């Protein structure tokens, strides 16, 4: 994926360049510097992976770097166009790795990695996972204490028992949602780990991960509506409401596949479509048999 903020400015500047001024002054110092850094990151990564395209001349990129970054000299129109061309070639070759993802995962040691965009996002996910896990532990501990002491509370504290009973029922309803959030956290952590390892983490996709957490939370609570008594039997495996919530949070496709099966079961079958499908299958089978006989 290209960086529109860089390439668009380069293209616009080159097309409208003022012949009486240095080209990189028209483009903008910061914009051109970002482009050179982006091309250099992509080229070095491609070289490390053995995927540097033949048309990309690393020596020429280093010359641009030395001239602009080290010597603070101006680049002309042809050199800027050349940089933009290298940028497009490298991003096309390395996709889904981009200059943005390389910058977000660029680090030399653990502390440095934790300060990067990828490291900061990973830390926020760790914190959220610990918070959700602590909430689940608290709810389970409260339920255990309530079930163990409620007979005694009914005698010693009948008025308070009413409130605690309401909280107990509420915690039962919240458990699938919390496990859905935990499942979504596990999914996002696994995906983030893979993308950081492959240098594919893009900070622009963080809202997508946040949306995945919300969707996982909702899926964890909704899925128990489709099973009676909070349990589901899948072959020889009995799934509790908490387990269903975790699975739905980890994979929202799990919930949507159940919804699709229910909708298919409730929807009236179209006999015309069924007959057409049967005729098509029969005709295909007949053609295969004829082809087998001809080969024989």
The pLDDT tens digits of the residues spanning 136-157 come to 999 999 999 999 998 888 888 8
d(Cα 282, Cα 90) in Å, to the nearest integer?
50
- Residue range 220-245: average pLDDT? 70
Report pLDDT digits (tens) over 55-96.
Answer: 999 899 999 888 888 888 888 889 889 999 999 999 999 999
- Answer with the residue of higher pLDDT: 2 or 252: 252
* Statement: residue 277 has pLDDT above 90: no
- Answer with the residue of higher pLDDT: 110 or 239: 110
Q: What are 153-157's contacts with CB under 8 Å, separation 24+?
A: none
- Answer with the residue of higher pLDDT: 284 or 1: 284
* Chain-centroid distance, C-alpha 244: 22
Summary mean pLDDT of the chain: 81
What integer pLDDT is reported at residue 272 of this predicted model? 53
Which residue blocks in 157-270 are alpha helix, DSSP H? Answer: 158-197, 206-222, 241-250, 252-266
What integer pLDDT is reported at residue 118 of this predicted model? 94
Task: Give residue for tokens 């993308």.
Answer: 195
Question: Over the Cα atoms of the chain, what is R_g?
Answer: 30
Extended strands (E) in 56-203? none
What's the predicted TM-score (pTM) here? 0.74
Q: Which tokens belong to 288?
A: 């295969």
Exposure letters 26-41 (e unless 16+ CB within 10 A, then b): bbeeeebebbbbbbbb
* Statement: residue 13 has pLDDT above 70: no
Yes or no: say if 227 and 244 are a contact pair by the CB < 8 Å rule.
Answer: yes
d(Cα 89, Cα 272) in Å, to the nearest integer?
51
Q: Which tokens belong to 112?
A: 């440095």
- Answer with the residue of higher pLDDT: 145 or 233: 145
Identify the three-state secondary structure at position 228.
Answer: helix
Domain ranges of the chain: 4-104, 114-263
d(Cα 274, Cα 172) in Å, to the nearest integer?
44
- Residue range 17-25: average pLDDT? 41
The number of residues making up the chain comes to 296
- Asked if residue 96 has a cis previous peptide bond (ω within 30° of 0), the answer is yes
């Amino acid at each position: 994926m290209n960086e529109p903020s860089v390439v668009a400015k380069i293209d616009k500047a080159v097309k409208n360049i003022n012949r009486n001024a240095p080209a990189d002054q028209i483009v903008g110092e910061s914009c051109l510097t970002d482009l050179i850094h982006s091309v250099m990151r992509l080229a070095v990564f491609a070289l490390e992976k053995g995927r540097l395209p033949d048309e990309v001349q690393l020596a020429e990129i280093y010359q641009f770097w030395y001239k602009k970054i080290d010597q603070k000299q101006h680049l002309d129109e042809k050199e800027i166009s050349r940089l933009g061309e290298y940028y497009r070639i490298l991003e096309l070759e390395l996709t889904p790795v981009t200059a943005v993802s390389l910058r977000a995962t660029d680090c030399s040691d653990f502390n440095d990695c934790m300060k990067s965009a990828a490291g900061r996002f990973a830390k926020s996910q760790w914190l959220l996972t610990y918070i959700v896990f602590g909430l689940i532990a608290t709810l389970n501990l409260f339920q255990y204490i309530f079930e163990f002491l409620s007979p005694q509370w009914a005698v010693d504290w009948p008025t308070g028992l009413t409130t605690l009973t309401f909280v107990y029922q509420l915690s039962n309803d919240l458990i699938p949602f919390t496990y859905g959030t935990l499942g979504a956290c596990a999914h996002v952590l696994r995906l983030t780990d893979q993308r950081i390892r492959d240098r594919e983490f893009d900070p622009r996709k963080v809202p997508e991960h946040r949306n995945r957490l919300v969707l996982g939370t909702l899926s964890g609570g909704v899925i128990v509506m489709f099973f009676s008594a909070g349990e589901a039997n899948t072959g020889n495996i009995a799934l509790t409401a908490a387990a269903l919530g975790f699975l739905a949070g980890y994979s929202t496709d799990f919930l949507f596949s159940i919804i699709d099966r229910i909708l298919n079961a409730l929807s009236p079958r179209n006999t015309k479509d069924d007959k057409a499908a049967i005729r098509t299958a029969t005709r295909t089978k007949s053609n295969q048999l004829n082809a087998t006989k001809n080969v024989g």
